[in-house]
Amino acid sequence: MKGCRRGAPAVNRPMPGIGLSPFLFMMFLLAACSGEPDTGPGKVRWDRDQCERCAMAVSDPMYSAQVRVHVKDGRSRLYKFDDIGCAVIWLDQQPFVNDPRTEIWVNDYRTGEWIDARKAWYVPGKVTPMGYGLGATTEKEPGALDFEAAKRHIYEVEETFHVHRGDEHTHPAAETEEK
């Protein structure tokens, strides 16, 4: 070829007919094939992801939760929580709370598998990251609560103990220690 030197580096030219450099084409391809799905629970980076409500690390794979909401462009956005209580209270404050496409996922406290929070049964008396005390499971156990009863329990804990309100109320354990 005229004007080419042997051993000269290759020139990064657009691919014929596409108009994109090979680098841009590969970036586009990778972006289209990677990322979170638009439905179902997503991957959690344990001890790295933060709870959307309280900013604590999402660290317990037996008691965490996720909420997936659908946004205007047809895609979805995933929010992660360290406890089902944080997810329920946060979601109730959002404009999409009643959108039937909104998904709520929670870990089964026995297996760590993701299950539909609205179909789960909630066993009280568990030690959970934020103290709401509910372990989710797919099978009804003695004393288990359905989702609506679990929500009422969460608000009772929130109002009784003021655990996450950010105001000047103290946790009952702190009051006991002071006496």
What does the pLDDT average to over 83-104? 96
Residue 1 lies in a domain: no
Report residue 152 as tokens.
Answer: 């009422």
| Structure-model confidence comparison of residues 164 and 84, the more confident one | 84
Q: pLDDT band for position 162 (50/70/90)?
A: low
pLDDT at 31: 40
- Compute the distance between CA of residue 44 and CA of residue 64 in angstroms, rounded to an integer: 10
- Compute the distance between CA of residue 25 and CA of residue 76 in angstroms, rounded to an integer: 25
Q: Which residue has the tokens 């996450």?
A: 164
- Compute the distance between CA of residue 43 and CA of residue 17 in angstroms, rounded to an integer: 38
Residue 174 lies in a domain: yes
Q: Does position 83 have pLDDT exceeding 80, yes or no?
A: yes
Dihedral sign of CA atoms 143, 146, 148, 150 in order: positive
Number of domains present in the structure of the chain: 1
Residue 46 lies in a domain: yes
What does the pLDDT average to over 128-142? 96
Domain that includes residue 21, residue range: 17-179
- Compute the distance between CA of residue 155 and CA of residue 135 in angstroms, rounded to an integer: 16
Reported as a single tens digit per residue, the pLDDT across 101-118 is: 999 999 999 999 999 999
* pTM for this prediction: 0.72
Residue 9 lies in a domain: no
Report residue 35 as tokens.
Answer: 């990322």
Residue 122 lies in a domain: yes
pLDDT at 29: 43
Residue 92 lies in a domain: yes
Residue 8 lies in a domain: no
Residue 144 lies in a domain: yes
